[in-house]
Structure 1
Amino acid sequence: MPSQIDVIDSHIASSEREKYNELLALEIQQSNRSYWKFSTVTGVFKQSLTETNEATFDYSKERFGLNLESWDKVFDYVHELNATAESDNVRYKVLFLARHGQGYHNLAHSQYGDDAWNNYWSKLTGDGKIVWGPDALLTNLGLSQAHKNGELWNQEIAKGLKVPQRWFVSPLSRSIDTMIHTWTDLDLVDLKTVRPLVMENIREQMGVHTCDKRLPRSVIDYKYCPLGIEIEDGFVEQDIYYQDDYRESTAEQAIRLNKSLQDIWGKYTTKEESNICITSHSGSIRSLLLVLGHRPFAIGTGGVIPVLVKGEFITNEQ
C-alpha cells in the first residue's frame, strides 16, 4: 500500500508535463533521428482505469491488477496485437514496473516528514543512527517486501502468468538487491541464465539527495556481476551525473527514461519478447508512466505496477 508521501510524490504538475513535451519535441527535432513513440493500452490492468483509487489499491491482493479473466487472456491479447499490428514498426509489450523495497532513506523520509527530508536531511548521508547515502541500502522490511513479491510471482506463475523474458534494473543497490531477492530467494529464475541488465538511465531522480548517488562501476561489478548481472555498454566508472547543488526535474528525468525505453524497444529486446521486468524507483516509475501516457499511480515501497505498452517506430523524414 502506498503511503501518503507516495501518493503526493506520484503526481506531476501540469508545468512539468508541458516541459517534458517541449523537451521531447526539441530533442526529436534536433536529433533528426527516427524514434519509438509510446502509449498505454488501457483496461488490461486495473491501475490504468480512472476509477481505481491509487491510495487504497493493493496490488498483492489484486493479482498485480489483472483486469481480464486470466493471464492467458492477457498474453493471448498481446500476441494478437503484435500479430495483427499495422506494420512491423509496432510492438506491444507488458512492462512490470517494480519499485525497490524500503530503503534506509525511505525510513528516514517517513520519520522526518516531507519538508524536513527534502530541505535538510536528504542532503546529509545519515543522522547518526542510520546511514542512507550514498546509495541507500534496503532495510529488513525492504528485504521482506522483495521476498513477498517473489511469493506473489510464484503464486501467479502457477496461475498462468509468464515469467519475464528480459530484466532491466537501476544501478542503485536497493533496486538490484530487490530484484535479486524477489527472483532468487524462491529459485524463480537463474540470474546467470537471464542476465539482468543494469541501465544508467532508469535510476532515480538525480542530484542533492545523497541516497541517489550511485557506487562506482567497479564496485557494482564486484558485488553483482558474479551473480549473473550485466552492466550496459558505456556505463562509466564514477557517477558523473549526480550533482550536490542541482536536482533533476521530473521533465528531465522523463526524457532520460524515454531514452531507456528507446533502447529497450530498439536495442535490447525483440518483437517476440513481450514480457519485461524493470526494477527501479518511485520517481523512475512516475516518469515512466508519464512517458507511457499512463495515469499517475502511487506505488509503495516494494510495489509493482504492470502496463501494457504500444511502441510505434516513427521514421523521421526530415
Structure 2
Amino acid sequence: MSDLIKITQCDVEDAHANTDQEVIYRKLISEARYQRDPETGNTLRPWKFEVVQGFFKQSDESTDELSFDLIRDNFGLALGSWSALKLKLHELNLNGSPNESYKLLICARHGQGYHNEAVSIFGIEEWNNHWSHCTGTTLPDGREIVWGPDPMLTPLGERQADELNKAWRKQIEHGAPIPTKYFSSPFTRSCMTLVRTWRGISICEENEDQSKLLSSKRHFPIVMENLRETIGSHLCDKRSPKKIIAQRFSRFGFTFEKGFQEEDIYYRDDWRESLSEQSLRADAFLQDVFENYPDDIYISSTSHAGEIRAIITALGHRKFAIPTAGTLPIVVKGTRIQEDLVL
C-alpha cells in the first residue's frame, strides 16, 4: 500500500459501525421527501440518488478494502482508461431522460489532523471517553499537541495531501478529468487538504498566474456546513469563526455558501449527531449539487470519515473504509422526482 496513505483498524471499525442507523435513515429520508419550502412551496428534496456500478472498484463488493491501494490502483478506476470513463459519462447524460443526471463525485477525506494523531496515541476508547472533550495535551516527551477546536493538519497530514497532488497530476496526464466544482467542509483540516491536493492543478493564490494551472483557469471552492464532520461533543468538530476561515483561505479563492454564519451555531457539548441525522445532511448536500450545478459533471468534495460514511449511507453505496487523505470516487445517478409524485 501507499507509504503515506494507509488504512487503520480504527478506520475499518468506524466505516462499519452503527448499521442500525441505516434503517432509521431510510425512514427519515422517506418522510423528508414530502417536505416543502414554506415560502416557495417547492419540494426540498426533489432528487433521488443511486450508485452507478462498473466505474470504480470501491463500489464492487469483491474489492477488499484492507488491501486496496488508492494511489497504485489509479484511484480505483475499473474501466480501461479515464477516456472511457469520460465517454461513458457523456453518453449517460446525453441519452438519459430529461430528469436524470450523472456526475462523478470525488469524496476526499482530509489528511491526518492532530485529533487523528491523538486517537493513534491514546486509542479510540480513551479518545471517546476523555480526550475528545479536551483541547489538547502535553505528551511525555514534552511536545504539546492541540486538536480542539478545529485542529490543523499534522506534518504527516500535509505530506499525505501533497501525495494526493502528485497522484492526481499523474492521473490527469493519463486523461483523468479535472473537477469543475470544489466543495469543502468548513474545518481547517479539510480546507488545508483541498488546497494542497489541487494547488497548481486548479487552485492557486490570487496573485499567482492562473494560466499556469493544469485547468487553465482558477477555481473557487465553496465552504459548506453540510460537509462538516459529525456535529457535537468532540471539540475537534467545533469549527472556527467565519472570519478566521476567510483569513486562512480566501487568498486561495475560497467562498462561503449563502447564509454561512460567523460563529458555529450547530456545535453543542452535550449532544452528538447520529449517523442517520448526518446522512440527511449528506443528502441535502447532494440535493444542492444536483439542483444548482446541472452543468458540472466532475465534482470534488473534501470532508471527513464520518461525512463520507454519511454520503455512502445516503447513496446506498457499499461500506468502504477511507484512511486519512483517502479518496472515494463515486459515479452517482440523480433522478429528479416529478412534482405530482410527491403531492
Query: In the TM superposition, what are the counterparts of 1:276-315 in structure 2 within 5 Å?
Result: 276-315=299-338
Query: In the TM superposition, what are the counterparts of 1:160-175 in structure 2 within 5 Å?
Result: 160-175=175-190
Separation in structure 1 between the aligned mates of residue 117 and residue 17 of structure 2, nearest angstrom: 23
What is aligned with 2:213?
Answer: none
Once the two structures are overlaid, the 10-residue window that deviates more, 301-310 or 30-39, is: 30-39
1:12 Cα shift?
4.1
Query: In the TM superposition, what are the counterparts of 1:13-52 in structure 2 within 5 Å?
Result: 13-31=18-36, 33=43, 35-52=46-63
1:231 Cα shift?
0.6
What is aligned with 1:134?
Answer: 149
**Match 2:195 to one of 165, 180, 186:** 180
Q: Match of 1:214, SS?
A: coil
Separation in structure 1 between the aligned mates of residue 118 and residue 307 of structure 2, nearest angstrom: 20
Contact 2:195 2:203 in 1 (8 A): no
Instruction: Please tell me whether residue 219 in structure 1 is matched to residue 229 in structure 2.
Output: no
Separation in structure 2 between the aligned mates of residue 8 and residue 304 of structure 1, nearest angstrom: 18
Contact 1:12 1:296 in 2 (8 A): no
Separation in structure 2 between the aligned mates of residue 77 and residue 204 of structure 1, nearest angstrom: 33
Contact 1:126 1:133 in 2 (8 A): yes
Contact 2:203 2:252 in 1 (8 A): no
What is aligned with 2:253?
Answer: 228
Separation in structure 2 between the aligned mates of residue 108 and residue 171 of structure 1, nearest angstrom: 21
What is aligned with 1:259?
Answer: 284
Q: 1:152-201 CA distances to partner (integer Å, 9 max, x unpaired)?
A: 000000000011111111000000000101111xx112346211110111
C-alpha change, 1:11 and 1:316, in structure 2 (3 Å) is: farther
Separation in structure 2 between the aligned mates of residue 14 and residue 171 of structure 1, nearest angstrom: 27
Q: Match of 1:61, SS?
A: coil
Separation in structure 2 between the aligned mates of residue 190 and residue 20 of structure 1, nearest angstrom: 36
What is aligned with 1:155?
Answer: 170
What is aligned with 1:94?
Answer: 104
What is aligned with 2:203?
Answer: 190
What is aligned with 1:54?
Answer: 65
Query: In the TM superposition, what are the counterparts of 1:270-281 in structure 2 within 5 Å?
Result: 270=294, 272-281=295-304
What is aligned with 1:76?
Answer: 87
Letter in 1 for 2:305: S
Q: Match of 1:59, SS?
A: coil
Separation in structure 2 between the aligned mates of residue 171 and residue 219 of structure 1, nearest angstrom: 11
Separation in structure 1 between the aligned mates of residue 35 and residue 326 of structure 2, nearest angstrom: 37
Letter in 2 for 1:245: D
Letter in 1 for 2:264: D
**Match 1:6 to one of 2, 8, 11:** 11
Letter in 2 for 1:280: S
Which structure has the highest helix share of the two? 1
TM-score, normalising length: structure 1: 0.96
TM-score, normalising length: structure 2: 0.89
1:28 Cα shift?
1.7
Separation in structure 2 between the aligned mates of residue 56 and residue 75 of structure 1, nearest angstrom: 27
Letter in 1 for 2:320: F
Once the two structures are overlaid, the 10-residue window that deviates more, 100-109 or 54-63, is: 54-63
Following TM superposition, where does structure 1 have runs of at least 4 consecutive aligned residues deviating by more than 6 angstroms?
A: none
1:14 Cα shift?
3.2
Instruction: Please tell me whether residue 114 in structure 1 is matched to residue 124 in structure 2.
Output: yes
Identical residues among aligned pairs (%): 43
Separation in structure 1 between the aligned mates of residue 128 and residue 64 of structure 2, nearest angstrom: 26
Letter in 2 for 1:304: T
Once the two structures are overlaid, the 10-residue window that deviates more, 33-42 or 233-242, is: 33-42
Q: Which of 1 and 2 has greater Rg?
A: 2
Q: Match of 1:181, SS?
A: helix
Separation in structure 1 between the aligned mates of residue 339 and residue 68 of structure 2, nearest angstrom: 41
Separation in structure 2 between the aligned mates of residue 260 and residue 42 of structure 1, nearest angstrom: 21
Letter in 1 for 2:58: Q
Q: 1:219-259 CA distances to partner (integer Å, 9 max, x unpaired)?
A: 11222112211111100111010110100000000001110
Separation in structure 2 between the aligned mates of residue 14 and residue 108 of structure 1, nearest angstrom: 26
* Unmatched 5+ stretches in structure 2: 1-5, 37-41, 139-143, 207-217
* Unmatched 5+ stretches in structure 1: none
Separation in structure 2 between the aligned mates of residue 22 and residue 206 of structure 1, nearest angstrom: 21
Separation in structure 2 between the aligned mates of residue 204 and residue 260 of structure 1, nearest angstrom: 13
Q: Match of 1:201, SS?
A: helix
